C-alpha cells in the first residue's frame, strides 16, 4: 500500500521528460496570467500589489507540495479579497495579516476533520453555473483594458488571439500563449506605441519576502476583531478551492484528496500570513489555463510560483515591458475555454429546475462578483427544489373494511419537514369508522417534524374516540418514534409490534 502511494505521488511530480517540459512551460505561462489578476485583486483588498504577489509566490510553492490536487494554481485573488477589503479599510494591513494566519489555522482544522464532505451538497448544476460565472467575470475583468484605449491595443489583442489559436496548428512544442507574450513584447519594444504595460498595473516588488509576525496586540479584543473576517476568508477560500479542484477532477477525469487540499491551503495561507501576504485560494481561470497549456503535474504549480518570484525580482525590468494586451488576449482565451458551452444546449434538454439553479448561480455571482454568494444561492435552490420534488412523491391512499369497521391509510414515500403537512391533512377527522390503521410499510420518517405531524394526527383521532394503530414502521423510523413520539408509542400496543418491519 505504501509503495503504491509513493509511486502515485512520484508520478504527480515526474512522469517523463515530455510531461515535465510541458509542466514547466505551462507554469511559466500561468505566471503571466497570474500577475494582472493578483495586482487587480490587491487593489480590491486595499493593499499594495507586492502584498498579493508575495502571497501568491508563497501559496503556489507551499500548495505544490501540500495540496491534494496536482496542476491547481492558487494565489491571492478571488472573493477572499472582497472579504479582506473591509478589514483593511477599518484596521489596516497588520490586522489583515493576523486574519490570514487565523484563516489558515481554521482551514487546516477543516481539512484534518475531513469536512470536505460538505462539497457533496454542491450539485452539478451549481458547479456548471460556478464555471460559467467565472468565465464571465474573467472576461469582464479585461474590459477596463479594452475600453478607451488606442487602436494599437485592439490590434495587439487581435494579433495575440491569432497567435494563441493558430500557432498550435503548426507546433505544440511551446505553449502558444508564451509565444504570444514574447512576440508582442518584442514588437512593442521594437516599435514604440501608446499601449499599457505591466509596469502601469502597479508597483512590482524588488526584494524577497521575509518572515514576520503581525504587529497587533495579542488580546481577546484583537481576536474579536479578526475572528469574523478570518472565518469568512477561510470559508470563501475553501469553497473556491474545492470547487476548482472538482472542476479539475472533471476535466482530467481523475480524483483528488479534497481534505488534503483544504489542509494544504491552510498551511499555504498560514505561511503567507507570516511572510506579509494576504490569504488566497484556488484560481479556476488560471488553473484551467494551466491544464489547457499542458500542465497536469505538481511541477506546473511549483513553476508558477517560483517563476513569479524570478519575474518579480530578477527580470523585473523586462516583465514591466510586457504589454497588457498580451495578457488580455490570454485571459480572453481562458474565459472562452472555461465557459461550458454545452450548458447552453443543455438548457433545453435538462430539467427546468436544474437550468434555473445553473442560471441563478451565474446571475448572483456576476451581479455580486462573489463566487461564494453564487454557490450559496445555487446550493440553497438545489435543496429547495429537491425537497419539493421528493415532497410530491409522497402519497396517502385509504380504504375501508366494513366488516371490521377499519379505515386503513397506506402511506408511501418520504415523510419529512416538507411533506409532513401533507401527511397530517390526509386524515379525515370526521370519519365515522371506529378503527383507524396507519400503514407506513412503504414510507420512511426522516425527522422530528414528520414524527410530530404523525403524533398530532394520531392524538386528534384518539380524542374523537377512535382506536388508532400505526404499523409498518421500519427500524430507523421506529427508533425516531421511540425517541420523539411518546404519544404514538403509548397507544399502539400490539398493533405496532405486529406490523413493524
More confident residue, 93 or 44: 93
Mean pLDDT of 67-93: 84
| Span 184-203, pLDDT tens digits | 999 999 999 999 888 887 66
Helix (H) or strand (E) holding 436: strand 435-445
CA 40, CA 28: separation in Å to the nearest integer? 20
The pLDDT assigned to 43 comes to 67
The alpha carbon dihedral of 157, 162, 164, 165 has a sign of positive
Mean pLDDT of 197-213: 78
Mean pLDDT of 294-321: 85
Q: In degrees, to the nearest 5, what angle opens at C-alpha 123 toward C-alphas 121 and 126? A: 115
The pLDDT assigned to 166 comes to 92
The pLDDT assigned to 489 comes to 62
CA 496 to centroid of chain Cα atoms: 47
Share of the chain above pLDDT 70, in %: 94
The pLDDT assigned to 495 comes to 38
**pLDDT greater than 90 at residue 406:** yes
CA 492 to centroid of chain Cα atoms: 48
Q: What pTM value is reported for the model?
A: 0.73
Closest CA to 314 of 209, 202, 211, 207: 207
Mean pLDDT of 235-240: 85
**pLDDT greater than 80 at residue 156:** yes
CA 452, CA 480: separation in Å to the nearest integer? 11
The pLDDT assigned to 490 comes to 56
Three-state secondary-structure class, residue 369: coil
- Asked if residue 236 lies in contact with residue 369, where contact means CB atoms within 8 angstroms, the answer is no
**pLDDT greater than 50 at residue 155:** yes
CA 46, CA 241: separation in Å to the nearest integer? 23
Q: Which long-range contacts (CB under 8 A, 24 or more apart) does 455-458 make?
A: 455/485, 455/487, 455/488, 456/424, 457/423, 457/424, 457/427, 458/487, 458/488, 458/491
The pLDDT assigned to 395 comes to 93
Share of the chain above pLDDT 90, in %: 38
Exposed / middle / buried, residue 67 (Cβ in 10 Å: 0-12, 13-18, 19+): buried
C-alpha cell at 280: 488566497
CA atoms within 13 A on the CB side of 241: 40
Mean pLDDT of 259-273: 94
The most distant pair of C-alpha atoms in the chain lies apart, rounded to whole Å, by: 102
**pLDDT greater than 60 at residue 364:** yes
Amino acid at each position: 500500500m505504501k509503495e503504491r502511494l509513493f509511486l502515485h505521488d512520484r508520478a504527480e511530480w515526474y512522469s517523463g521528460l515530455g510531461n515535465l517540459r510541458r509542466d514547466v512551460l505551462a507554469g511559466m505561462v500561468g505566471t503571466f496570467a497570474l500577475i494582472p489578476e493578483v495586482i487587480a485583486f490587491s487593489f480590491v483588498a486595499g493593499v499594495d500589489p507586492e502584498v498579493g504577489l508575495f502571497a501568491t509566490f508563497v501559496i503556489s510553492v507551499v500548495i505544490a507540495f501540500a495540496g491534494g490536487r496536482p496542476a491547481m494554481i492558487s494565489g491571492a485573488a478571488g472573493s477572499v479579497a472582497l472579504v479582506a477589503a473591509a478589514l483593511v479599510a477599518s484596521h489596516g494591513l497588520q490586522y489583515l495579516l493576523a486574519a490570514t494566519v487565523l484563516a489558515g489555522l481554521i482551514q487546516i482544522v477543516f481539512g484534518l476533520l475531513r469536512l470536505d464532505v460538505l462539497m457533496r451538497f454542491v450539485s452539478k448544476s451549481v458547479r456548471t453555473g460556478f464555471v460559467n460565472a467565472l468565465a464571465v467575470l474573467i472576461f469582464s475583468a479585461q474590459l477596463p483594458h479594452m475600453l478607451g484605449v488606442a487602436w494599437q491595443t485592439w490590434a495587439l489583442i487581435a494579433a495575440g488571439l491569432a497567435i494563441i489559436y493558430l500557432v498550435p496548428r503548426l507546433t505544440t512544442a511551446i505553449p502558444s500563449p508564451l509565444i504570444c507574450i514574447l512576440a508582442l513584447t518584442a514588437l512593442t519594444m521594437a516599435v514604440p506605441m501608446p499601449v499599457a504595460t505591466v509596469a502601469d498595473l502597479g508597483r512590482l516588488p524588488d526584494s524577497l519576502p521575509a518572515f514576520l509576525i503581525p504587529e497587533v496586540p495579542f488580546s481577546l479584543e484583537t481576536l474579536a476583531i479578526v475572528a469574523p473576517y478570518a472565518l469568512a476568508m477561510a470559508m470563501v477560500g475553501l469553497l473556491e478551492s474545492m470547487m476548482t479542484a472538482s472542476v479539475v477532477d472533471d476535466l482530467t477525469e481523475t480524483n483528488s484528496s479534497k481534505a488534503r487540499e483544504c489542509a494544504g491551503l491552510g498551511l499555504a495561507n498560514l505561511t503567507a500570513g507570516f511572510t506579509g501576504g494576504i490569504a488566497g485560494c484556488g484560481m479556476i481561470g488560471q488553473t484551467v489555463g494551466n491544464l489547457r497549456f499542458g500542465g497536469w503535474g505538481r511541477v506546473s504549480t511549483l513553476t508558477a510560483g517560483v517563476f513569479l518570484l524570478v519575474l518579480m525580482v530578477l527580470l523585473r525590468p523586462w516583465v514591466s515591458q510586457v504589454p497588457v494586451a498580451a495578457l488580455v488576449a490570454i485571459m480572453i482565451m481562458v474565459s472562452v475555454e472555461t465557459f461550458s458551452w454545452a450548458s447552453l444546449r443543455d438548457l433545453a434538454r435538462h430539467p427546468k429546475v436544474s437550468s434555473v439553479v445553473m442560471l441563478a448561480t451565474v446571475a448572483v455571482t456576476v451581479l455580486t462578483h462573489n463566487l461564494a454568494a453564487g454557490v450559496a444561492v445555487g446550493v440553497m435552490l438545489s435543496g429547495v427544489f429537491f425537497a419539493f420534488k421528493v415532497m410530491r412523491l409522497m402519497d396517502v391512499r385509504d380504504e375501508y373494511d366494513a366488516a371490521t369497521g377499519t379505515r386503513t391509510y397506506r402511506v408511501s414515500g418520504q415523510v419529512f419537514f416538507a411533506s409532513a403537512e401533507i401527511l397530517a391533512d390526509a386524515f379525515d377527522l370526521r370519519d365515522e369508522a371506529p378503527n383507524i390503521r396507519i400503514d407506513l410499510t412503504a414510507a420512511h420518517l426522516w425527522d422530528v417534524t414528520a414524527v410530530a405531524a404523525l403524533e398530532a394526527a394520531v392524538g386528534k383521532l384518539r380524542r374523537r374516540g377512535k382506536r388508532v394503530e400505526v404499523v409498518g414502521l421500519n427500524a430507523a423510523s421506529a427508533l425516531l418514534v421511540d425517541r420523539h413520539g411518546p404519544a404514538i408509542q403509548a397507544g399502539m400496543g400490539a398493533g405496532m409490534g405486529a406490523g413493524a418491519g
